[in-house]
Amino acid sequence: MNVFAKYFCVFTVLLSVSSPAWAAKKKKNAELKRVDREFFVTPEARRIGDQLLLFQRETGGWPKNIDMVTPLNDEERAEIEAEKGRRDDSTTDNGATTLQMAYLARLYAATGDTCYRDAFRRGVDYLLAGQYPNGGWPQFWPEMRDYQIHITYNDNAMVNTMSVIRDLMYGAEPYDCAGLLPDGYRRRLMESFYRGVECILATQIRDKEGNLTVWCQQHDRETYAPAPARAYELASYCSNESAAILRLLMEIPKPDERIRRAVHAGMKWLDEHKIMGYSYTHVNDNGEWNATLVADSDAGPLWARFYDLENAEPYVCDRDGIPRRHLEDIGHERRNGYGWYSDNASALYPLYEKWKMDN
C-alpha cells in the first residue's frame, strides 16, 4: 500500500465516525474518468450519471473526496438530497466538479438526455461565478472560510478550472458535442480564461533581487502575496503547482512577451533548484511505511514540495508549523501523509525545449 492509499484509509475510518454512510464508503470515483464511448451508452453509465445529479449542489458545483459511484440505498439518497442546499462545500479541489463535468459531457454526447446537459451547464456557471475580478479562483465558493478565500493553485485547483474553461472555449474533447453549451458562452469563457492568465502573471513571485521565480500554493486575493494554508503549508515557493502552471502557460497559442518571460523565469528557477542524487521512496521500518530520501546516483531530478521564501531552501513541516530540513525531523503522520518530494517537473523539460523552438 502506498503512502497516499494508507492516508486515505485512515481518513475513511475517521469519516465513518462523524459523517453519513455514503461519505464513508471506499472511493470509486475512478469510474468517472472513463472515456470509452461504449460505456456511456450502458445503463450503468446512466445510473452513475443520475447519482452525480443527486450529489450536485444547488450552487452548480460538487463536494470533494466522496464516493459518487457506489449504488445508494434510500436512506443515503435522502441524506444527500438534504445536503443539496449546502453552500460551503462546493469546490474544484482534488478534481471535484471538473471531474463530474467531464463525465456528464460524455454522457450527454452518448445519450442526448438533456438532464445531463443541464447539470453540466450549471457546473459551467458555477466555475464562471467563482472567479474573482482579478482573475483568480478560491478553493471553495460561494461560502468559504480561513485560507479557502485565497487564490488557490494547491492541488492544481485553479489550473484544472482553467483547463476546463480553455477546452470548452475551443470545443475540445469531451466538450465537442453539439448543443452542450448555449450560444454566447464561448466569449464568456475566453474572457474568463485570459483573466485567469492575468492573475497567474500577477502572482508569480519575485525573489529578493526582483527576479521572477515560481508560485505558491495560495496567494492573497488582494495583494497577490504568497499565503499560508494549513499549519504545515507555509507561504513558500512550490514546485508541484508551479510545474502545472508552467505547462498551462506553454499550451497557450501565440503567447505574448509577458507569458514568454514568465515561462522562461519559472523554468530557470526549477532547473536551478532541482535535487540530484536522491530517490524519494518509502521503506518498511519496523512494520510501518516511512518516507525517506535515499542516495541514488542513477536517480533523475527531484524537487521539494516547498522551498522557503528567504533562501529558497527545501523544507518539510509538521502540524506545529515549524519548517525543518529533514524528513526524519517531523512526525510519522505528516511525514507519510503528504507528498514532500516529486519528479513532476521533469516532464516539463521536453515540452519547454519544443516550446522555445516554436516561440
We report the CATH number of the domain holding residue 72 as 1.50.10.20
- Residue 18 inside a domain? The answer is no
Per the listing, cell 443515503 goes with 76
Same domain for 152 and 191? yes
Same domain for 272 and 310? yes
Domain extent at residue 73: 32-203
Q: What is the mean pLDDT of the chain?
A: 92
- Residue 15 inside a domain? The answer is no
pLDDT category at 6 given cuts 50, 70, 90 is very low
Distance CA 213, CA 99 (A): 30
Per the listing, cell 450529489 goes with 55
Same domain for 306 and 174? no
- Residue 16 inside a domain? The answer is no
Same domain for 138 and 90? yes
Same domain for 328 and 286? yes
The average pLDDT across 149-163 equals 96
Q: Does residue 274 register a pLDDT over 70? A: yes
Q: Does residue 14 register a pLDDT over 50? A: no
Residue-level pLDDT at 27: 55
Kindly list the distances between the CA atom of residue 136 and the CA atoms of 59, 272, 346, in Å, as whole numbers in the listed order.
Answer: 19, 28, 26
The average pLDDT across 187-198 equals 98
Tell me the backbone φ, ψ of residue 147, rounded to 5 degrees: -70, -10
Domain end: 156, 171, 203, which one? Answer: 203
Same domain for 213 and 199? no
Same domain for 173 and 225? no
Kindly report, residue by residue over 213-264, the tens digit of the pLDDT. 999 999 999 999 999 999 999 999 999 999 999 999 999 999 999 999 999 9
Kindly report, residue by residue over 284-323, the tens digit of the pLDDT. 767 778 999 999 999 999 999 999 999 999 999 999 999 9
Distance CA 190, CA 247 (A): 18
Distance CA 245, CA 270 (A): 12
From 11-20, 232-241, 260-269, the region with the lowest mean pLDDT? 11-20
- Residue 14 inside a domain? The answer is no
The DSSP call for residue 174 is T
- Residue 319 inside a domain? The answer is yes
Q: Does residue 17 register a pLDDT over 60? A: no
Same domain for 132 and 69? yes
Residue-level pLDDT at 350: 98
From 14-23, 182-191, 298-307, the region with the lowest mean pLDDT? 14-23
| Number of independent structural domains in the chain | 2
The answer to whether the CB of 99 falls within 8 A of the CB of 158 is no
Tell me the backbone φ, ψ of residue 334, rounded to 5 degrees: -75, -35
Kindly report, residue by residue over 78-119, the tens digit of the pLDDT. 999 999 999 999 999 999 999 999 999 999 999 999 999 999
Domain end: 171, 203, 235, which one? Answer: 203
pLDDT category at 176 given cuts 50, 70, 90 is very high
What's the pTM?
A: 0.90
Residue-level pLDDT at 3: 34
- Residue 26 inside a domain? The answer is no
Kindly report, residue by residue over 51-69, the tens digit of the pLDDT. 999 999 999 999 999 999 9
Distance CA 58, CA 87 (A): 8
Same domain for 308 and 240? yes
Calculate what percentage of the chain has a pLDDT beyond 70. Answer: 92
Distance CA 50, CA 44 (A): 10
Residue-level pLDDT at 20: 52
- Residue 60 inside a domain? The answer is yes
Same domain for 289 and 172? no
Same domain for 250 and 148? no
Same domain for 173 and 139? yes
- Residue 83 inside a domain? The answer is yes
Residue-level pLDDT at 288: 78
Domain end: 157, 179, 203, which one? Answer: 203
